[in-house]
């Protein structure tokens, strides 16, 4: 086995060298670091990757070619180059890289985030946009979010009364998980959430096959085996039980002669199975629910935590936001989701947080199934294309004092962060056909959570802390605070029963 592996590796090295010379003759690649045989630039990578890739721009320019093993990776670090990928050549790069992990996690490409571009993906995207993320459906989910926030305010209020230092991350996690689980499944504390979080961590596991694809079939680190034989069967079983419970509830209601009215998003998806043109199987429902948990819960936790960290670090910003909220609704009740559109400064805070701290700093990778051309450079067939959303949001060509947290920069402007009309100088949800489908949730959920917490409490640093540690946790996918976010809270609302 060891000898066979060495022989295979030597053959790959020879083939890699030959293909490299062939590619050099065929056309000019974007500039980038000189790769080693087989390994490429893997040994030179530094975390966080988005910062590392941004630093390479100073040497190589806004579009970079990096060999990650045998995989050609194209990194786009400017809004001008992002416009080339996401607008001018949108269809060419509307695909996702194929991998065994992605195949298993998407229930064999039955989802929206990882599935290849095509008719099946278009149908699922339409279902998601029209039936789950429409304004009316999101309005219907507001009660779940408001009730979860009321519980958090009571829990934080008890600690605030006792003058205890509060671990904000714990309460943010509790609120986001509880609200999302109720919206998706009609109940909180669903085991699916923890299991999906565990599965997502597999993407950080060492897996040579991701970068040297001829070795992927050997599964040298057992990642594919764990996904296939352990983790995904468990997830499918849990989701199948949830779907069956909802189906039985639907059947019981209809058998009694009553009209079935969906209460959560699992109900909504099941009700769509009756329409023949949707072609929505149980497996597709499982894949969509997995997308919503994976992309929704973790990203919302991170975004709300970053927002609270920045607001606590900048007391004048918190005071200005509190005054806006108090002028709008007073201090006799908690904030409602319907109040949020009337809080322009809170939306400026949202934009500034997403500019500085996009929760997916490199987005979801794009992929070109055929050779393409960008800015005169040849992009090899089968390249992984990354949009450095983090670097674009901090580009000094487009942003004055880009490292500063200053929500005022958005006041009185028409800068949008979503939709085809969005300026590409800031694309926290990416853009084009593969733009994050969950953005309608984020632009409601994040300002509601932050506004609720700063309306109900004054927040200050613990006595032994001079500033908030804004260091990022090392990783390649999400941008998260490296340290626990702790603070001292003081109740602000005049209606004391809201804390009891």
Each residue's pLDDT tens digit, 37-65: 988 998 888 889 999 999 999 899 999 99
Rounded Cα distance between 361 and 358, Å, is: 5
> Quick one: CA torsion of 427, 432, 438, 443, rounded to 10 degrees?
40
Tell me what pLDDT residue 5 has: 42
* DSSP designation for 244: H
**Structural domain harbouring 331:** 2-499
Between 275 and 230, name the one with better pLDDT. Answer: 230
> Is the pLDDT confidence value at 486 over 60?
yes
pLDDT of 155 > 80? The answer is yes
Give the model's confidence band at 8: pLDDT under 50 very low, under 70 low, under 90 confident, else very high.
very low
Spatial neighbors of 239 by CB under 8 A, at least 6 apart, are 192, 285, 286, 289, 290
Q: Report residue 95: phi and psi, to 5°.
A: -100, 170
Distance CA 388, CA 360 (A): 9
Average of per-residue pLDDT values in the chain: 89
**Mean pLDDT across 112-117:** 95
- Judge whether 60 and 28 are in contact, CB under 8 Å: no
pLDDT for res 39: 87
d(CA 340, CA 146): 12
Query: What pTM value is reported for the model?
Result: 0.91
What three-state secondary structure class fits 163? coil
Buried b (16+ CB within 10 A) or exposed e, 215-250: bbeebeeebbebbeeebbeebeebbeebbeebeebb
Percent of the chain with pLDDT over 90: 74
Does the pLDDT of residue 14 top 60, yes or no? no
Per-residue pLDDT, 13: 46
C-alpha–C-alpha distance, residues 375 and 362, integer Å: 20
Looking at residues 445-451, what average pLDDT do you find?
Answer: 97
390 neighbors 479 (Cβ within 8 angstroms): yes
CATH code where residue 75 lies: 1.10.630.10
Phi, psi torsion values for 396, nearest 5 degrees: -65, -15
Q: Helix 168-185 crosses helix 191-201 at what angle (to 10 degrees)?
A: 110
Q: Residue 375 — left, alpha, or beta (φ > 0 → left; ψ -120 to 50 → alpha)?
A: left
Residues 462-486 have a mean pLDDT of: 86
What is the count of structural domains for the chain?
1
Q: How would you classify the pairing of strands 71-76 and 384-387?
A: parallel
Query: Each residue of 431-440: pLDDT tens digit?
Result: 999 999 999 9
pLDDT at 21: 45
pLDDT at 3 over 70: no
Instruction: Report, as an integer, the average pLDDT of 459-467.
Output: 92
pLDDT tens digits, one per residue of 219-250: 777 888 999 999 999 999 999 999 999 999 99
CB-CB neighbours of 209 under 10 Å = 20
SS (H, E, C) 440-490: HHHHHHHHHHHHHHHHHEEEECCCCCCCCCCCECCCCCCCCECCCCEEEEE
With cut-offs at 50, 70 and 90, classify the pLDDT of residue 208.
low
Give 343-401 pLDDT, tens digit per residue. 999 999 999 999 999 989 999 999 999 999 999 999 999 999 999 999 999 999 999 99
Residue 479 reports pLDDT greater than 90: no
Do the Cβ atoms of 40 and 19 come closer than 8 Å? no
């Amino acid at each position: 086995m060891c000898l066979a592996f060495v022989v295979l590796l030597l053959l790959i090295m020879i083939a890699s060298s030959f293909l490299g010379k062939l590619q050099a003759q065929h056309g000019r690649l974007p500039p980038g670091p000189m790769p080693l045989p087989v390994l490429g630039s893997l040994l030179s990578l530094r975390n966080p990757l988005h910062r590392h890739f941004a630093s390479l721009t100073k040497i190589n320019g806004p579009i970079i070619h990096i060999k990650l093993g045998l995989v050609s990776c194209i990194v786009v670090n400017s809004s001008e180059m992002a416009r080339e990928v996401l607008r001018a050549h949108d269809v060419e790069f509307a695909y996702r890289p194929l991998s065994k992990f992605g195949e298993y996690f998407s229930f064999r490409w039955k989802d929206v985030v990882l599935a290849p571009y095509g008719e099946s993906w278009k149908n699922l995207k339409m279902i998601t946009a029209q039936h789950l993320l429409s304004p009316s459906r999101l309005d219907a989910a507001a009660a779940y979010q408001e009730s979860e926030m009321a519980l958090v305010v009571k829990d934080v209020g008890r600690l605030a009364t006792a003058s205890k230092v509060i671990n904000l991350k714990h309460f943010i996690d509790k609120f986001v998980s509880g609200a999302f689980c109720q919206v998706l499944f009609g109940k909180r504390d669903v085991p699916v959430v923890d299991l999906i979080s565990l599965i997502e961590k597999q993407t950080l596991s060492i897996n040579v096959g991701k970068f040297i694809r001829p070795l992927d079939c050997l599964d040298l680190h057992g990642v594919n085996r764990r996904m296939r034989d352990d983790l995904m069967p468990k997830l499918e079983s849990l989701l199948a039980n949830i779907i069956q419970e909802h189906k039985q509830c639907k059947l019981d209601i209809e058998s009694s002669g009553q009209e079935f009215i969906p209460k959560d998003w699992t109900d909504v998806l099941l009700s769509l199975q009756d329409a023949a043109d949707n072609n929505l199987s149980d497996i597709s429902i499982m894949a969509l629910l997995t997308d919503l948990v994976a992309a929704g819960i973790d990203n919302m936790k991170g975004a709300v935590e970053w927002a609270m960290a920045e607001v606590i670090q900048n007391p004048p910003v918190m005071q200005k936001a509190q005054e806006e909220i108090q002028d709008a609704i007073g201090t006799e009740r908690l904030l409602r989701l319907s109040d949020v559109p009337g809080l322009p400064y809170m939306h400026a805070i949202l934009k500034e947080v997403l500019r500085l701290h996009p929760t997916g700093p490199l987005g979801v990778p794009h992929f070109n199934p055929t050779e393409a051309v960008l800015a005169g450079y040849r992009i090899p067939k089968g390249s992984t294309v990354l949009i450095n959303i983090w670097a674009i949001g901090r580009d000094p060509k487009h942003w004055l004092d880009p490292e500063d947290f200053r929500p005022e920069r958005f006041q009185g402007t028409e800068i949008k962060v979503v939709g085809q009309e969005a300026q590409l100088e800031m694309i926290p949800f990416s853009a084009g056909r593969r733009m994050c489908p969950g953005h309608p949730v984020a632009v409601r959920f994040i300002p509601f959570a932050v506004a609720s917490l700063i309306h109900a409490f004054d927040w200050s640093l613990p006595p032994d802390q001079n500033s908030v540690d804004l260091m990022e946790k090392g990783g390649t996918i999400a941008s998260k605070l490296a340290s626990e976010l702790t603070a001292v809270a003081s109740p602000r609302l005049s209606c004391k029963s809201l804390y009891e």
